[in-house]
Amino acid sequence: MASASLAHAEHHSASLTLPFLWGAATSGYQTEGNSTNADIWLLEQVNGTIFKEHSGNAYDFYACYRQDIALAASLGLNSFRFSIEWSRIEPEQGTISHEAIAHYQDMLRACHENNLAPCVTYSHFACPRWFAARGGWESPDAADHFLRYCELFSRSFGHLISVASVFNEPNLHKLILHANPLSDRAKTTMLAQAARACHSPTFSYYLSGDPQRVEAAMISAWRRAYDVIRSGPGQYPLGLTLAMTDDQAIGDPAARDLKRAEIYDAWLCACREKGDFIGVQVYTRSLTGPHGTVPPPAGSHSTTMGWEFYPECVEGACRYAASVSQRPVIVTENGVATDNDSERQDYIRRAITSLERAVADGIDIRGYYHWSFLDSFEWASGYRPRMGLISVDPKTKKRTPKPSAFLLRNLCPKKSMIWQL
């Protein structure tokens, strides 16, 4: 049996050709609806919740996926990013839903039937309720449970996947705490109520727990998951995605550089060690002076999420991610929360222009996914932020493409990439 490092080297002798990935992104929990076995579903319901509203049946993507995938293809996209939900595959510990497996297999086939390369996320924030009730990523055997899921996932879906990320934004907790060191206090009551509902001494989801311990556990799981997934069927680029801002220094860059090292570098180095690409998820910039974060300039415009409207963030984040990871970059999320679609169109134009500058300078960028395909449930913020290329009537579930969706179609570059896997 070959060692892990030898197997990795042997695998990288193979080649795969993919187009420049041009798509839109979703996540299962935010669009499918009624994810009743997920940890976040319970957190929405308890007293003291930080969620402004319940996700409910969302926009019923679980039932409407074939319609939505065909719509994505009609808009000139060549790839579609979505997650497969662990809580549907394994609703109770050790209980596998073959119905859910068949459902997601059909979703992947629908992508191929519509000439969309499926970009699949193994874990996009939401985990099974039973996993959270065991302590989530702070549990000593968390990685073992996750690895069994990865093995089942790969065996069931690997032959149908074009691109995949194992984790979605595993560094988000650190990024949030850097911006608001007191943010964890708001979760204490909510988590205690969830633990009580599960008759468990603990309950931990992706934004709780000690960030250093959780990061160490997840990086270890990432390294092991890479080898498990590579041993299964399918040949596709496998990476992870990071939550980033375009970090810009005001004066002395030391504080900015320290922030980057604390929030990104462990994951960027883990991807450099073992990974085929790094996914960059960026929406705005962050200004850092010698004494910490600096507010946006006077007169700057804020999005519905309260972030500075700064589409050029894509360029800086990609440059930094590429420089540390030494891996190809895919922009796996970028977009803007606004009710004004002309602002979204302006954002897209400027973001792609900044991306092209990075490419012209030799940054190896392999794809761009707009967040999001549909207006979605934006976690604690609920349905108020509108980030989609497609609006959805909350009562009839009718989908209506916004003008920005047609703009994105017209900007797609026409080129292919050779991936050495």
Alpha-helical regions (H) of 331-375: 341-360
Look up residue 29 and give its two tokens. Answer: 């929990």
Q: Containing H/E element for 281? A: strand 277-289
| Model confidence pLDDT, tens digit, residues 189-221 | 999 999 999 999 999 999 998 999 999 999 999
| Whole-number Å distance between alpha carbons of 171 and 22 | 25
Give 186 or 107, the one with higher predicted confidence.
107
Q: Residue 168 CA to chain centroid, in angstroms?
A: 4
| Whole-number Å distance between alpha carbons of 98 and 89 | 7
Our answer to whether residue 169 is catalytic in this structure is yes
Res. 2: pLDDT tops 70: no
Amino acid at 251: G
Provide the pLDDT for residue 276: 97
Look up residue 198 and give its two tokens. Answer: 């599960």
Mean pLDDT for 233-255 is: 96
| Model confidence pLDDT, tens digit, residues 51-98 | 999 999 999 999 999 999 999 999 999 999 999 999 999 999 999 999
| Model confidence pLDDT, tens digit, residues 141-159 | 999 999 999 999 999 999 9
CA angle in degrees (0–180, nearest 5) for 401-31-112: 70
What band does 182 get if pLDDT is binned at 50, 70 and 90? low
Q: Write the DSSP assignment of 138-194 as a string of letters.
A: GSTTHHHHHHHHHHHHHHHHGGG-SEEEEEE-TTHHHHHHHH-TTGGGGGHHHHHHH
| Whole-number Å distance between alpha carbons of 400 and 139 | 44
Please say whether the beta carbons of 27 and 79 come within 8 A.
no
Q: Residue 122 CA to chain centroid, in angstroms?
A: 10
Amino acid at 170: P
Architecture of domain 20-411: Alpha-Beta Barrel (3.20)
SS3 (DSSP) at 311: coil
Please say whether the beta carbons of 117 and 163 come within 8 A.
yes
Provide the pLDDT for residue 333: 98
Share of the chain above pLDDT 70, in %: 96
| Whole-number Å distance between alpha carbons of 53 and 50 | 9
| CA distances to 101, 124, 356 from 411, in Å | 35, 28, 11
Provide the pLDDT for residue 15: 85
pTM listed for this prediction = 0.95
The one catalytic residue in 32, 85, 90, 169 is 169
With 0-12 CB in 10 A as exposed, 13-18 as middle and 19+ as buried, what is 156?
Answer: buried
SS3 (DSSP) at 420: strand
Provide the pLDDT for residue 34: 97
| Whole-number Å distance between alpha carbons of 407 and 389 | 10
What band does 3 get if pLDDT is binned at 50, 70 and 90? very low
Residue 31 makes CB contacts below 8 A (sequence gap 6+) with: 58, 59, 61, 374, 376, 377
Q: Report the range of poorest mean pLDDT among 9-13, 317-321, 329-333.
A: 9-13
